[in-house]
Each structure stands twice: as C-alpha cells, then as structure tokens.
Structure 1
Amino acid sequence: MSDHPDSTATQNVISAARATDRRTQNEKPSTILLNSSDDVLIALRAIAVGETVSDGVVAIDPIPAGHKIARRRIDAGTAVRRYSSVIGVASATIAQGEHVHVHNLGMSDYSQDSNTFGQDVRPTPLASVQRTFNGYVRADGRVATRNYIGVLTSVNCSATAARMIADHFKGRLANYPNIDGVVALTHKSGCGLDARIDGIEALRRCIAGYAAHPNFAKVLMIGLGCEVSNLDGVLGGSAGDALVIQQSGGTAATVRAGIERLEASLERANNIQRTPVPASELKVALQCGGSDGYSGISANAALGAAVDLMVAHGGTAILSETTECYGAEHILTRRAVRREVGEKLAARVKWWDEFAASHGMEINNNPSPGNKAGGLTNIIEKSLGAMAKGGTTNLVEVYDYAERVTEKGLVFMDAPAFDPVGATAQVAGGANVLCFTTGRGSAFGCKPTPSLKLASNTPLYQRMPDDMDVNCGTILDGTETIEEAGTRIFDLILATASGQKTASERLGYGEEEFSPWDKGIML
C-alpha cells in the first residue's frame, strides 16, 4: 500500500509536534492532537475508563501515558494516521475512545515513490552572527572538544593488556589538568572472521576513525600479532604508535612498554589550551534510545530545532539508525540535494529489509519491549518520530558505517539502531559531540566524545536526574516551545563542546559502550 503524504509531508512530524506550543500554561489537556487528519490522540497522562478527553472522546479503555486513543471509529483494514502519516492498518474494528496499540494496529505495506527524490530541497538559512565555542585546535587544524589519551586494540586478545595500561593512570593525572583521562576502548572481535567480510572492514574503519579522532591527543594501539584484523590492516601501513604482544615479550612486557610510552607523552598532551573556534567545527551525532510515545513530539523535535540552528551556523549533524528510517525514509529522500543521495539512502533501507528477511526476521521487530510499553506500536510509527531529530534542512550525503564524514550540513550514516553500535560508527566518522534522546530512560556515554541525554518527558527527568542533561518534557507541559527548547539545546551543545561536563561523563560512562558492528559469521 503506498500512502505517503503530499509534498509538504516532510514538515509533518515537526509541525505536528508544534501543536503543543499553542497551549497556554493554564491549560492542562489530557491528550494532544498532532494533526487534524489524525485518527488518534496521544495521552499526556494516564487516562481512566469513562474519562472525557479532547474532542469529547470518552475513553472506553484505560490509556497509559504516551499511548494512542482513537478519535473516531476505525473499521478493520482501514489505514490509521498519526503525524498525518499512515502508521499502520487496523487489524480489527476500533471503537472511538479505544486504546490503539499492538492488539489492534498492524503494519501496512508501503512503497517508496522514487519521483519524490529531492522535491523538498530548500535553501539553507544562514545565521547572521556566527556562534563560537572554546575547543582544542590540533597542530593539523582538527578541532577537539575533549583531550583524552586512548589505548585501542586490534583484537579482543589484546584487550586485557590495553586495560592494564589505562588503569595504571587512574588517580595519577593530577599534575596534568588539561588531560581528560587515559581510556582503553576494547571490543570482542578482530579474529575468527573471514578477512574479506564486511564486518572486518567495518571494524577496521571504526578503529582507524578513533585513532584519528581529534578528541585524542595521543593514541597507543595494542595488538596480539596473529589476528585477522592486524594492526597493519587497521592503520593501512601508516606510521602509528603500536605494540604487538607476540613481538614485545608478552603481556607484562607490553604493559610496561605501553605505560612508558604514555608517560612520555603526558607533558605534551597537557600542553594545550582551549581557544574560540566557530560553531561550524561541530560534528554532532544524533541518537535515540529507550524511546516512547513522546519522543517524536518533544525530545526529537527539540533536537531537530537545535540541528537546524547548527546547520545554519555551518555545522554538521550525523543522523543514523537505518532500521529506524523504515517507512519514513521519504522524509529524508525528499530533502536529498542530489538524486543519487536519496537513492543511496533508499538502497540502504532496502538492504536492511533483505538482510532481516534472509535471517527469518522483519524490521518491525525493531521496537523493543520498552518502546512498546511507552506507546510505540510498530517501526513506522517509531521511524516517523525518530526522523524529527534531523530537523528540516537538506540531506547532503549518505555515508557507510564508520566512514569519515567530510560534508557540512545534515548527513546520514548507515548503522543498526542498537545505540552503542550506531554511536561508535558516528564517533569514528568524526563526531565531537553526541546528543541522545530517550523517553524510557537510557544510560549511555561514548568516550572520547561527550554525550548529552535529552529526556522526552518531565517524570523521566525527575526520576533519573543524575543521567539526564535536558528536560524536553517542558514542551508537553506547555511551558516551553520547541524553538525555545531547541535554542536551549544548541546553547548546551556549545557549552559542552567548550568543556562543560555531561551527566554521563560525571558518572564515568563511555568505555564499555565502544561497540563496532560485527556483521560476520564467527568461525
């Protein structure tokens, strides 16, 4: 079934969320109507049976907060709309006031209309005054937001040695205040896989991208010596500071040598100061995890407004999570600056559809139990809300997993929707700040890149205050507009890039979350 909205649809998710802006602080409705053509209302709080809500609808089921309630009778087999877009088909007749969810809303077939590629491309508004942040400028001109020393591994077999080296420096950097820490980023792969498969190439791109990341003042590579993903393959034969356990006298000797090399680098790494740089040097990764029914209309929409501001300043935003484009990729392909850019994204979504089918799965398995408990019924509904993170500007390029990002503006990187795997790719691509929206509550960090956590609702922000940086529930509460929240997020991105610590940094997150995508069959 092909049932995409008309050419103005690319604004539907953002404009639907802005419906909340029209409420005054004195009005506390129980539901939101996102678009006049929608078949459902969204519950702003738990609604009891018999309660009258917007449009005179009487709830005939208990409706949990964030979930959908039918505005009118919907016959079985009829398309159901949210954001003025089809999110599925009624699998049974739904009465007015009934709870709309997995028990009565099924997936709809859809087809991408190739004739719409690029039809919504518009000139990008430019900021009249260029904002700045205080970053570290490396000798080669790369701009950093943090100043770490990294210990990376080519294979899991060298992970213990790498951690021993990094652990030596814990509590020993008091005389080096400009160094954020020595971190070991290890993984569970690197061998037992065919050297020709995509998974090995993805791993090599990840490690090479981290090795070249501006947020590292120094990187030491640790290998075993007989692995498939050896250091020469990762570094491409280029000169790099590396130790190979089998060639260095074993584990203890490698650890001693690694500590000596890093100790010799501390003074130089510490000898750097922050200086003002333009906001155009920002590369911000966009992630969402633990999403709920509010994510697409508060946190994601507010982050999208911040992205529009950042792109207007010449910065870069990296949207990802290809499996959360499914059924909503038209929102981006219609904004593709060139047809081949839109076709590249459509091809990646098709690859994922075929990849899932080849393993006896379907992409609609994507919404997690937590997503569903939060009100998201299927992948199309989830995708429509997820796309709001990308704002409204043009899509300028599509990148492979962990590929280096060179274009300015809104870009897309192919990756799974599992947050550590996707964020690892974005950081490998050069992201120097990460923004992570959540509705259910997610615990995450991504060293060496600082990660900001945006809560979709006020109860979450109040329930997990040590994990959340931004409360976007103000939009649902009617105390702030999406534009105001977006400006607040953009300001916080600049402050974070200037050195202000995030919640996840204060908690110590960011090393265990390094997770390159392993696509292969382990032999």
Structure 2
Amino acid sequence: MSTIYPVIKLNPNDDVVVARHDVAKGTLLAQENITTRSDIPEGHKIALRNINEGQAVKRYGQIIGFASQAIVAGEHIHTHNLCMGDFSRDYAYGEDTIELPLAEKKDTFMGIKRADGRIATRNYIGILTSVNCSSTVARAIEDHYKKVGLDNYPNVDGVVALPQSFGCAIGFDSEAMAVMRRTMSGYARHVNFAGVVIIGLGCESNQIKDMFKVEGLSEDKMLHSMTIQETGGTQKTLAKGIEIIDGMLAEANNVHREPVPVSEIILALECGGSDSYSGISANPVLGYAADKIVQQGGTAILSETSEIYGAEHLLTRRAVSPEIGKKLIARIEWWEDYCARTKSEMNNNPSAGNKVGGLTTVLEKSLGGIAKGGTSNLVEVYEYAEPVTAKGLVFMDTPGYDPIAVTGQVAGGANLLCFTTGRGSAFGCKPTPSLKLATNNTLWQRQEEDMDINCGNVVEGTETIAEAGERLYTMILEMASGKKTKSEQFGYGGLEFVPWHIGAIM
C-alpha cells in the first residue's frame, strides 16, 4: 500500500503547501526539499521558501495575504505571521469567458409542475410572519398539524412556519424595508409552496397590504393574509389559520411528480463552517456539479459577497459583458461603504472555526469559496432576494452568514441548495431541501449523521474532483426528485428563515 504524500500543492506559483494530515516537526518534504520547523495541524499551510516581511504570499496562484514578519521555509504560516494588505486587482472584464458546450444528453428529474409552468422540488404549505409579534401564532398553527398529522394528504411535505425576529421599527421607504418586502414576497411566491398564509400583528412597520401593493401580490385561494388585531386575538387567529390551511390541503395534495428537464433546477451554492480543505475538495466538487447543471440549461446561484472579497477579479474576468462585471464591483463597493459606516471591516472573516481549520485571511477563504461556482461564465448579478430569472451561473449579493445568505437565495427562487462544510454545519432551509458536503474524512467520520456526501477522498488523492462531482450530480437529481436529505430527516429548516436587516432598528 503506497503512502499518501503529506502535503498538497495547488498551483506551481504557490508559496505554500497544505497539510493533508497533522505533520510532525522535522518531517522532510522531499518533493519541496524542505523540512517542517514545527508541528503543523491538518489543513494548515507550510512555507515553501523564505519570505520577507511585507511580501505577498500566494495560494491557488493568488495573493492570500502579506507576511507580517519574516518567514522561513518549512515554517507554519497562519495568523501569527500572515495578515491582510492592500493590493490592486485586474478586473479584466470578460477576458476569461469560456462557452461551456450544452449537454447533448438532456437529463431529467421527477419534479412537480405548477399551474404556471414552474417546477417544484417539494410541496409545502407555508406560514410567514410580517413581524416577530405574530411568530408565536404561526408556530402554534404548525404545531397543530404536527399533532394531527397529514396522513390524508400524502403529497404534502408539511405545513411549516417560518417566523422572523424583526418586521418593525424600520423606515417605510428605507432600504431595509425594500429588502424585507422582497424577501417575504419571494417566499410567498416560492414554487415549493403550494399555499401560503401570512400573519401579522396589525400595527407593525412591515404592513402586509403595503408589501402586497409594492410587490404586486394579490390574495387568492392559496395565498391568504390576516392580522391578530383584526381577527380578534391570538386564539381566534390560530383557529382562522387552521381553517384556511384546512381549505388548502386538498388542492395542495393534488399534485404528482413527472419527468422534467434539469434546466428547471435553480441551485443555491453555499459554504459554512469552512476549513482549508473547502477550496480543495467540496467547493470544486460542487463547482463541477454546478457546471453540469448550467450545461443542462439550469441555474446556479453563487453568493456571499463578503466572502468573495479579494477574489472578485476572478469572477469579473468570467463576466459575459463589462456591464455584468461592473454590477459585481458595484456590490463590492457598496460593502466597502457599508463596512465604513458601521465601523466594521471586510476581514472580520474568517471565523474562529475557520481559523482552526487552517484559513487565515478572508482572501484565502474567498479564493476557495468561489470554487463553488465552477468554471461557467457569470451571466447576471442580483441584489439580495431579487427574483432570479437568468439561466447559467449568477451571483446574488448577500452576507457570508449562512442563514441570511440562503434566505436571500431561496427568496430569489432557488429550489435546491448544496451546502459545503469543513467544520461541520447542521443546516436546512424549508421549503428548499439542503444537501451537505463534507470537505474531509475526519468530519465525515465524526458527523456523518448530518452530512450527505463525503468529498474527503479528494484530499486524500484517492478520488478526483470529476469522480466526486459525478456522484454529487446524481445525488442532486435524487434530491430534486423527492429523496429526503439528512437535514430534512432531522426537521431542519423552520428556524433558518433569517432576512437580512441592513439598516437601523429604531
């Protein structure tokens, strides 16, 4: 049995290698002709050469930071000797676009065709709240259906409440209110909801009638709204909500799955609890599958603007036009202003867990993160929770915080989610099913009950990105066809509805 070489070099121009496993002090790395000068934790970086203070350090062939002190070949590189710094990026709009050929064989999955022609992957009835004050009632209605069950409606996946924590004390014409309305209307229209009830208190800033007017919504037999104050109190609102949903169930159940093209998939791409292996295994594996979906005529949504920072130039080079590339940079500039006025900084990332996993700067995290987007051209850029209508790889402006980012993607229309993790995230996002990818074998062995697919063998060198990507693509189609993911089996998704609050709460 051959011994696996202890480190990975990702690009010929790199100044570092990454440890596959813990590497002991004094280990000779023969291919690099260096000896480790200390114990190196798995996933962490080792210097390939002497680096002077202030010099740039590269991984993925790109700058991930600058030496904060002199570094010697064989030394551990991390937060103690690597820091952020300013450097110019060549946006080179559209210079690296490549037309991926459309697939000759048109794949299908078993989807649910709605009356308007859209394709669902799940079939829920949803209960939304316009404000925190109505969240208890919404949850009580959901609890009722958990108790009585839905045995007479086998085609309904569930009645799910998505309570929120805000909805009031924000300006009527503010940016925050526009985002709130966009998000809620995106869920109200979501293809995976057969019907929706929206419940308010009645006096909140986020008035349901105003949202309906601004977003062009209107009530019908499968979309209802009410407020506790108008209905006459908590118990009456609970009873009315149950009565409304009882009236929806028969129609919601009147669906069947049929073969539909993969071009109907809108796949959200997300990473959380990342580690140094994320950009080596799970993210490029997901990027491979995303490319396949794009080649089938489908859509993949990359997001997390604060976590592409420092790597945005690699996306602008893939933009189909200068206008699309400049839309992305406009969002980056918005974030720089946002951080300035909130006295924050873009390098608040990586998190403590990311750093334990070997990530040192947001630049390094970003370079690994964009691998989720594969190699497809960037065809459109959306603001948070905007309806996604383009086919191909698109970008949505969101924070890096997982629940907020995914809430925006789902509001935009994502009917599937793939979520990569290196530290071990437990996540779901009803009404959209979530499939989780483990970046390394240690995580898979420790937390397999929460992970759907292991990409750790890519790190070990016993499986290629393409091989793992094909496995993932097959699982995506199974998920789209109704196979429950681990997070669905555990019931995740009802507490992860977290709209982005970008303005002042008064």
Name the TM tier (shorter chain).
over 0.9
C-alpha contact (below 8 Å) 1:306/1:489 kept by paired residues = yes
Q: 1:44 aligns with which of 20, 26, 30?
A: 20
Q: 2:107 aligns with which of 131, 136, 140?
A: 131
1:382-416, CA deviations, whole angstroms, 9 ceiling, x for partnerless residues? 00000100000100000010000000000000000
- Matching residue of 2:177: 200
1:7-48, CA deviations, whole angstroms, 9 ceiling, x for partnerless residues? xxxxxxxxxxxxxxxxxx834011001112111010000011
C-alpha contact (below 8 Å) 1:110/1:327 kept by paired residues = no
Matched, 1:213 2:190: yes
1:230-252, CA deviations, whole angstroms, 9 ceiling, x for partnerless residues? 11122226322111111111111
- Matching residue of 1:11: none
Q: What displacement does 1:519 show?
A: 1.1
Q: 2:415 aligns with which of 432, 437, 440?
A: 432
Alignment of 1:300-379 (within 5 A): 300-379=283-362
- Paired with 2:392 and 2:87, the residues of 1 have a C-alpha distance of 29
Q: 1:268 aligns with which of 251, 272, 276?
A: 251
Matched, 1:503 2:454: no
Matched, 1:57 2:34: yes
C-alpha contact (below 8 Å) 1:154/1:234 kept by paired residues = no
Q: 2:68 aligns with which of 87, 91, 98?
A: 91
Deviates more, 1:333-342 or 1:237-246: 237-246
1:322-353, CA deviations, whole angstroms, 9 ceiling, x for partnerless residues? 00111100111001111111001011111112
1:39-76, CA deviations, whole angstroms, 9 ceiling, x for partnerless residues? 10100000111111242321111110000001111111
Where 1:176 maps in the other structure, the secondary structure is coil
Where 1:285 maps in the other structure, the secondary structure is strand
Where 1:235 maps in the other structure, the secondary structure is helix
- Paired with 2:34 and 2:422, the residues of 1 have a C-alpha distance of 26
1:80-109, CA deviations, whole angstroms, 9 ceiling, x for partnerless residues? 111111111111111111000111111121
TM-score (norm 1): 0.94
Q: Report the count of equivalent residues.
A: 498
- Matching residue of 1:18: none
Alignment of 1:156-175 (within 5 A): 156-171=132-147, 172-175=149-152
- Paired with 1:487 and 1:94, the residues of 2 have a C-alpha distance of 40
Where 1:465 maps in the other structure, the secondary structure is helix
C-alpha contact (below 8 Å) 1:315/1:408 kept by paired residues = yes
- Matching residue of 1:6: none
1:477-501, CA deviations, whole angstroms, 9 ceiling, x for partnerless residues? 2221001111111111100000000
Matched, 1:243 2:226: yes
C-alpha contact (below 8 Å) 1:395/1:411 kept by paired residues = yes
Where 2:28 maps in the other structure, the secondary structure is coil
Letter of the structure 1 residue corresponding to residue 266 of structure 2: K
- Matching residue of 1:232: 209
- Paired with 2:410 and 2:212, the residues of 1 have a C-alpha distance of 17
Runs ≥4 residues deviating over 6 A = none
C-alpha contact (below 8 Å) 1:315/1:409 kept by paired residues = yes
Alignment of 1:462-481 (within 5 A): 462-481=445-464
Q: 1:182 aligns with which of 138, 155, 159?
A: 159
- Paired with 2:474 and 2:318, the residues of 1 have a C-alpha distance of 26
- Matching residue of 1:387: 370
- Paired with 2:46 and 2:247, the residues of 1 have a C-alpha distance of 63
Deviates more, 1:422-431 or 1:358-367: 358-367
Q: 2:45 aligns with which of 65, 68, 78?
A: 68
Q: 2:396 aligns with which of 410, 413, 429?
A: 413
Deviates more, 1:352-361 or 1:142-151: 352-361
Where 2:209 maps in the other structure, the secondary structure is helix
Where 2:35 maps in the other structure, the secondary structure is coil
Q: What displacement does 1:476 show?
A: 1.1
- Matching residue of 1:282: 265
Q: What displacement does 1:111 show?
A: 2.6
Task: In structure 1, list runs of 5 or more residues that go unmatched.
Answer: 1-24
Letter of the structure 2 residue corresponding to residue 140 of structure 1: D
Where 1:476 maps in the other structure, the secondary structure is helix
Letter of the structure 2 residue corresponding to residue 200 of structure 1: M
Q: 1:143 aligns with which of 111, 116, 119?
A: 119
Q: 1:113 aligns with which of 86, 90, 103?
A: 90
Matched, 1:81 2:58: yes
Letter of the structure 2 residue corresponding to residue 479 of structure 1: T
Task: In structure 2, list runs of 5 or more residues that go unmatched.
Answer: none
Q: What displacement does 1:293 show?
A: 0.5
C-alpha contact (below 8 Å) 1:153/1:221 kept by paired residues = yes
For the aligned residues, what is the CA RMSD? 1.1
Amino-acid identity (%): 56
1:350-388, CA deviations, whole angstroms, 9 ceiling, x for partnerless residues? 111221122222111111000011100001010000010
Q: What displacement does 1:226 show?
A: 1.1
- Paired with 1:366 and 1:276, the residues of 2 have a C-alpha distance of 42
- Matching residue of 1:155: 131
- Matching residue of 1:19: none
- Paired with 1:357 and 1:202, the residues of 2 have a C-alpha distance of 21
- Paired with 2:218 and 2:99, the residues of 1 have a C-alpha distance of 43
- Matching residue of 1:483: 466
- Paired with 2:9 and 2:235, the residues of 1 have a C-alpha distance of 64
- Paired with 2:60 and 2:145, the residues of 1 have a C-alpha distance of 51
Letter of the structure 1 residue corresponding to residue 57 of structure 2: V
TM-score (norm 2): 0.97
- Paired with 2:133 and 2:406, the residues of 1 have a C-alpha distance of 23
